[in-house]
Structure 1
Amino acid sequence: MTDKYVMRVTAGSTYDLDKHVQVPINTAEPVKISSNLMDIELSVRVQGYKGLPPNSPTTSPYFDHEPHAYNKDQYSIAFRFTPKKEGHVSAKKEAAAAGSTRSSSSSTTSSDQDDDEEEVEGISALDLQFGNDFDHPIRDRLPPGFNTAMNIVKWWIDPGLDGDAYADVPHLYGPALSSFNAVHVGSGMHDEAKGGLWFEEGGDDEGLAKRKEIGAPEDAKQRMKWALKEDSKKRWVWEFGRTYGVDFFNPYIDFGEFSLRLPGFHLPIMKYWDGQGLRYVLRNRSTNQPYLVILFTLYLKEDVNEDGSLKPSALQATAIASGGGAKGKGEPIDLHHDEHFDEEKALDEARRKLSGVSVGDGNPFDNTNEDDVD
């Protein structure tokens, strides 16, 4: 079934697809996305890529370097970003003028002077989130064992992940500070030999000093664990005018086969797909404002012209069941009569493969929270 489709990745500073640009995959040159809130340079890498633009490289030198070669990472979303003070201050004034009851002060003030509006410094780590959301419900498409898979994800991949996959507007967000695999306080590197944008945990000289000042660990895994604590997020501010480099990567989503592979859990995505794209969002928790929206979308090959442009009918490929009969939408399924899911077997396999390497402590299949962190 997967050979009927091609993937296209777009990105923008809003959810409005008309304002998105197509993202070249596995190329060294990043895409620039700017708004009044943030300047961003974005690179997306995908192993075994078979999509648009036409003749895109199927891989990137990025995957040949450590830790990605050892991890067998399947994709990477890497970007450098610079938050802008003026846009945030203007947005706050507009919200106040409109009589907004939801304060954005926590997202635009110094960690030391929360009540002093003249000391606005950046976006609080309490507010900057990264994760996935969808336009329409997916609860009727969630496969057997989904809750077990989420427990595995929250134990091993992202203990800070939170949300509601069963909601009318499904979402799963985590604090950016604990979600990204690498956080670099500074501009990082652009190295064509490594596939373009390249960020390692740490920072430039000033960035390292800033990290040390607030007690942020130098090691990536320790920083992710440290960032689960409320006090840590209160101390970290993504400062206006300062550039940061972040990288999100893992071996669990295979875009070549359109499948999710976790220890003890394998999900053929196409079987449950309803036509919606996979969307990653960098957002502000307090204001609900998006900073960066990245959308991975599948299109039927017959809906794509030879030059890679989309035919008008291609829009149907991402339509959802509310209209019925959307071209490219997954087939109707009855999860009550789907294959049996052996939860105990899945948990045993996950325990065996991940024993001794968990991010959290205690029972690895309890929902990990900041109280579980050293």
Structure 2
Amino acid sequence: MGKGNVIDPAARDKYLLQESDLVTCFLKVRIKDYHGLPHGSPSSSPYFEHSLHTSDRYSIAFSFVPKQDFSGQDLVIGFDYDHSIKHQLPPGFKYAMKIATSMLDPGLYSDAYCDEPYLYGPALSGLFTLNVGEKTDKVSASDQLSLLAKQTGGVVEEGGTGSGATIRKDQNIPSKWKKRRKHFLSADALAAFTFEKGRMYHCDFFNPHLDFANFSLRLPGFSISVAKYIDEKTHHLRYVLRNRSSGDVLFVVFFKLLFGEELERTLEERKGEKEEVERQRMESVQASADETGNRAPVQDVNVDGGIDARPQTQPKPRVAEVESDEDDSGYSASAAVTSLSNNIYAAFVAMGLWDEPSSSSSESEAQSREPSPQRSGRSLESRVDDMDDATVEKYLQSRYGST
């Protein structure tokens, strides 16, 4: 499903279509301060100028139409690997995961030490923005995407459209995203919701904690560098929407950090591809000139400052465009645009589970000056069980510091 489809950062504000027997998904991936491949790609997107997203570092936005009904209990989102990463897990990882799964979101479930590690949570409580749309037999998918572009510039906002708004009201789903996420921590609320066959749902997954430009996690009061945890086995990661009951994957976004020999090889391949495209373009221009006596115009299609290398007719405004670009969306080592997403240590932060501290700024500052918990002969797990929220912050700051 969609294995040949790669998102070109130069076209990040167009849709990539992923189609399967389970779902039709229109996907957009945006990254702030992007400095990867292809060279010359725009470093940002108008998305990050929207009032709701000026502090965010990335966005995985998607609009999908299920081809069968899915229970709210079954659809989960999260990150996973297809290989073991336990050799790279940093000290205190179990501790961090305990925070994520018990104190921040009880709906999470994970296993970082198995052969195919994962971190998943219910989509209804994990998505940062959820907009319940209309049935596509009443309003087509293209028309709904056009309406989204017209109303908000393509930025998904919490709420409902048409009969989707009625569904939210009838099920007493809170209108605010934080309250909606809390609402769906209830198993009963999850069971009562159905992702309906033929209805469009608009979703967005974003946050300000992943600093792609500086190899770090931005947590309250301090920052943790994770560059040292990246190696040849942990430089890629999958973001998935899947059916927990059957294990079926509805769609997947594959992030990959290129470095070392793989980066050099990719650069050489892309250089060769670019030269071949240029050669074919010049041959086409010359052939046209020979036939007409005039040089044929060559069109570069600009998309938010980027260039679509394929000469083609632009789609009508506000209508989703299907992308099937074969370029690799690898990111250079110098910027490591996806390095943080590529380490499962960052995954619980990426899932938006580390909200702002409940204590005041002055209290947080005072806590940061207090000494870390004293060592004892007790195991880390047993000490974790006794830690309250204040001790959590002190421990993390003392353990990892502000780097």
Q: What is the TM-score with the length of structure 1 in the denominator?
A: 0.65
Q: How does 1:53-202 map to 2 (within 5 A)?
A: 53-69=38-54, 72-85=55-68, 122-154=69-101, 158-186=105-133, 187=144, 189-191=147-149, 197-202=154-159
1:127-154 residue CA offsets vs partner (Å, 9 max, x unmatched): 0000011111112211123234334545
> Relative to 1, partners in 2 of residues 1:81 and 1:366: Cα closer, same or farther, differing over 3 Å?
farther
Q: What residue number does 1:261 align with?
A: 218
Q: CA deviation at 1:246?
A: 0.3
Q: Percent identity?
A: 41
Q: Distance in 1 between matches of 2:207 and 2:151?
A: 20
Q: Tell me the SS of whatever aligns to 1:21.
A: coil
Q: CA deviation at 1:235?
A: 0.6
Q: How does 1:213-232 map to 2 (within 5 A)?
A: 213-232=170-189
> Relative to 1, partners in 2 of residues 1:366 and 1:21: Cα closer, same or farther, differing over 3 Å?
farther
Is 1:282 matched up with 2:266? no
Q: Distance in 1 between matches of 2:102 and 2:265?
A: 40
Asked if 2 retains the 8 angstrom alpha-carbon contact of 1:263 and 1:350, the reply is yes
Q: CA deviation at 1:163?
A: 0.8
> Relative to 1, partners in 2 of residues 1:296 and 1:152: Cα closer, same or farther, differing over 3 Å?
same
Q: Distance in 1 between matches of 2:51 and 2:85?
A: 36
Q: Distance in 2 between matches of 1:236 and 1:364?
A: 32
Asked if 2 retains the 8 angstrom alpha-carbon contact of 1:260 and 1:268, the reply is yes
Asked if 2 retains the 8 angstrom alpha-carbon contact of 1:123 and 1:238, the reply is yes
The CA RMSD over aligned residues, in Å, is: 3.5
- What amino acid sits opposite 1:191 in the alignment? A
Q: What residue number does 1:298 align with?
A: 257
Structure showing greater Rg: 2
Q: What residue number does 2:160 align with?
A: 203
Q: Tell me the SS of whatever aligns to 1:280.
A: strand
Q: How does 1:324-363 map to 2 (within 5 A)?
A: none
1:234-277 residue CA offsets vs partner (Å, 9 max, x unmatched): 11100000000000011111222232222256432321113330
Q: Tell me the SS of whatever aligns to 1:66.
A: coil
Which segments of 5 or more consecutive residues in structure 2 lack a partner in the other structure? 134-143, 274-327, 332-338, 340-353, 365-386, 393-403
Q: Distance in 1 between matches of 2:182 and 2:358?
A: 20
> Relative to 1, partners in 2 of residues 1:308 and 1:28: Cα closer, same or farther, differing over 3 Å?
same
- What amino acid sits opposite 1:302 in the alignment? E
Q: What residue number does 1:24 align with?
A: 8
Q: Distance in 2 between matches of 1:192 and 1:49?
A: 26
Q: Distance in 1 between matches of 2:164 and 2:248?
A: 26
> Relative to 1, partners in 2 of residues 1:364 and 1:204: Cα closer, same or farther, differing over 3 Å?
farther
Q: Distance in 2 between matches of 1:192 and 1:56?
A: 25
Q: Distance in 2 between matches of 1:251 and 1:138?
A: 25
Asked if 1 retains the 8 angstrom alpha-carbon contact of 2:13 and 2:30, the reply is no
Q: Distance in 1 between matches of 2:391 and 2:19?
A: 40
Asked if 2 retains the 8 angstrom alpha-carbon contact of 1:74 and 1:255, the reply is yes
Q: CA deviation at 1:193?
A: 10
Q: Tell me the SS of whatever aligns to 1:304.
A: helix
Q: What residue number does 2:208 align with?
A: 251
Q: CA deviation at 1:224?
A: 0.2
Q: What residue number does 1:36 align with?
A: 21
Q: Tell me the SS of whatever aligns to 1:234.
A: helix
Asked if 2 retains the 8 angstrom alpha-carbon contact of 1:30 and 1:197, the reply is no
Q: What residue number does 2:384 align with?
A: none
Q: What residue number does 2:291 align with?
A: none
Q: CA deviation at 1:232?
A: 0.3
Asked if 2 retains the 8 angstrom alpha-carbon contact of 1:37 and 1:83, the reply is yes
Q: Tell me the SS of whatever aligns to 2:190.
A: helix
Q: CA deviation at 1:64?
A: 1.4
Q: What is the TM-score with the length of structure 2 in the denominator?
A: 0.61
Asked if 2 retains the 8 angstrom alpha-carbon contact of 1:83 and 1:240, the reply is yes
Query: How many residue pairs were aligned?
Result: 276
- What amino acid sits opposite 2:57 in the alignment? Q
> Relative to 1, partners in 2 of residues 1:173 and 1:159: Cα closer, same or farther, differing over 3 Å?
same
Q: What residue number does 1:241 align with?
A: 198
The structure showing larger relative contact order (alpha-carbon pairs under 8 Å, at least 6 residues apart) is: 2
